[in-house]
Amino acid sequence: MSATSDSYACDPAFPIGPVKTKMYGPYQIGDRVLYEKPWIFVVSEKCRQGICNHCFQRGPTLKRCTGCGFSWYCGKECQKASWKFVHKYECPIFKNALASTELAVPLTIETVRLCLQAIIRIKHDKSWNLPSDAFPILPNRTFTNLMHHWEEIQNDPAEMEFLEVMSSYFYKTFKGIADYGDLIDMDQLGVIHGRIRINNMTIFGTYGDKLGVGLYLSGSSLDHACLPNACPSFSGTLLNIHTTESVDCFDNLRLSYLDKLYFSKPRREMLQKRYYFDCLCRACVDESLDKRMNSVRCSNCDGVILMEPFSFESEPCQKCAQSCSEKDVENVRQMLELGRHTQILLSEAKKSDDHRRVLSLSEELNSKLRKVLHPFNSLVISTSLQIACSADILGQYAKAFAHFSELSTTYTKVHPFWTFQNAEILMKCTTRGLIVKTAPKEQLELLKHFVEAMKIVSVCAGRDSPTFAYYKKFYEDCREVCSFSSPLENNF
């Protein structure tokens, strides 16, 4: 096979049908470079009774497993597939656990259930140490070949405490059902847990909501970069990876292991604590990125002053060349501290779904930040995004539109363009704007934002993805609302 040839997969078990996947580089923007079924996976506890626990599709009449009463399925086919995959052995364990209040609580923890599935597969499935069901197949990616960092985990008191609880839980849960003793002693369980902890991926739905967690043996081979060149997307539990930049070969593909872009110091600390490596990607060696993320409003002309967030060294204003005074630096320090304090309060409000409290806190913080920090500052951007989302949930569409509209120009100043978050901002800029804007020219401009959103989705997820279908249907609804017919869709 030539280095640039394409391969086609026509597996009826894959929900998106025929898939054109490029096996070798060089890759162009939007190329699909890998698709894969998970080796093990679990549904998120919040979604367990709302989506099929096997295919992750929403169904009008989900049915509970009569054996354990814990798992839910959309029909007999998914229940049979789940039974054959792992539920045959899960079911009596779940039933045993649910019979005891003491054992029921850890059962809802995703990490515990992933470890349970791994233990079951190792014990009962003869194919467990074969390469994953992926394209392209990476023969060296089996569960036993995954990194586990057990040595480092043993130096983490919190992780060891969790492992001791899980080991004790498994001994009680398995009692009288089967002998898993050789797999749940501390060393064996620690290695299994380490492989899952280091390599699992969050499974997102069409609407960007977290549906569950899966372990993808081939997908986990892609290393991290804080500014990635590839993007994962999902069709049910099926993982697809597309390029968001031109990449010369598979080995140089990079995903981001973080859910958002932080300053380099805390970002690298999180990566070291969670994945045990020191990141040296282009974002971490680019000293200007932190300065852009911590941009300050010039007190003389409202221009941009780039400032390092930890040493607070700054460059002159890009517009008037004025430098920051000691008072300006102190104001920035106070704003960053205020931001950290408010984030704690916001986290507490989010846990209780108190959206009015979240909106109030975000607006109060945002008004203070803008007096000191520039609109391109990442803290201002994240706070503005929180306001937009909370206002949207509360039906305050004019306020939501105002912030989504600003974010459509500021978000990519410090974040990558090719992201689902950016697509969501552009899409909501249109849909919420059409509620408050009625002039035809204004509506035309709003629809152009939606076209940009669909370009992003076509690159990050593919034109044959459920996410693209969702966006396209939404776009057609928007055109119908404003009675506008134009070949704008030819642009994506």
Convert 51-60 to b/e letters by CB count within 10 Å (16 or more is b). bbbbbbbeee
Of 151-165, 224-238, 409-423, 473-487, give the lowest mean pLDDT range.
473-487
Place of tokens 């410090």: 414
Rounded to whole angstroms, the Cα distance separating 168 from 184 reads 9
pLDDT band at 261 (very low <50, low <70, confident <90, very high): confident
Task: Average the pLDDT over 444-472 and give the result.
Answer: 92
Rounded to whole angstroms, the Cα distance separating 191 from 108 reads 21
pLDDT tens digits, 73-106? 999 999 999 999 999 999 999 998 998 888 888 9
Rounded to whole angstroms, the Cα distance separating 155 from 455 reads 46
pLDDT tens digits, 24-47? 889 999 999 999 999 999 999 999
Question: Concatenated DSSP letters for 23-47?
Answer: -SS-B-TT-EEEEE--SEEEE-GGG
Residue 491: what pLDDT?
53
Rounded to whole angstroms, the Cα distance separating 380 from 361 reads 13
pLDDT band at 18 (very low <50, low <70, confident <90, very high): very low
Residue type at position 64: R
Task: Average the pLDDT over 224-251 and give the result.
Answer: 95
The answer, yes or no, to whether residue 67 has pLDDT greater than 80, is: yes
Of 12-21, 135-144, 242-251, 261-270, give the lowest mean pLDDT range.
12-21
Residue 287: what pLDDT?
83
The answer, yes or no, to whether residue 232 has pLDDT greater than 80, is: yes
- Alpha helix stretches (DSSP H) within 175-251: 186-199
CB 239 within 8 A of CB 36: yes
The rounded mean pLDDT for the chain is 90
Going edge to edge, which strands form the sheet with 230-235? 134-135, 32-36, 238-243, 230-235
The answer, yes or no, to whether residue 15 has pLDDT greater than 90, is: no
Burial of residue 269 (number of CB atoms within 10 Å: 0-12, 13-18, 19+):
exposed
Q: Beta strands of 262-338 (E only): which ranges? A: 296-297, 304-305
Question: Concatenated DSSP letters for 75-106?
Answer: SHHHHHHHIIIIIHHHHHHHHHHHT-HHHHHH
What is the Cα 317 distance to its own chain's centre?
35
- In 3D space, the residue among 488, 453, 484 whose CA is nearest the CA of residue 471 turns out to be 453
The answer, yes or no, to whether residue 303 has pLDDT greater than 90, is: yes
Which residues have C-beta within 8 Å of that of residue 309, sequence separation ≥ 6?
Answer: 263, 265, 290, 291, 293, 294, 336
Structure tokens at 307: 């400032």
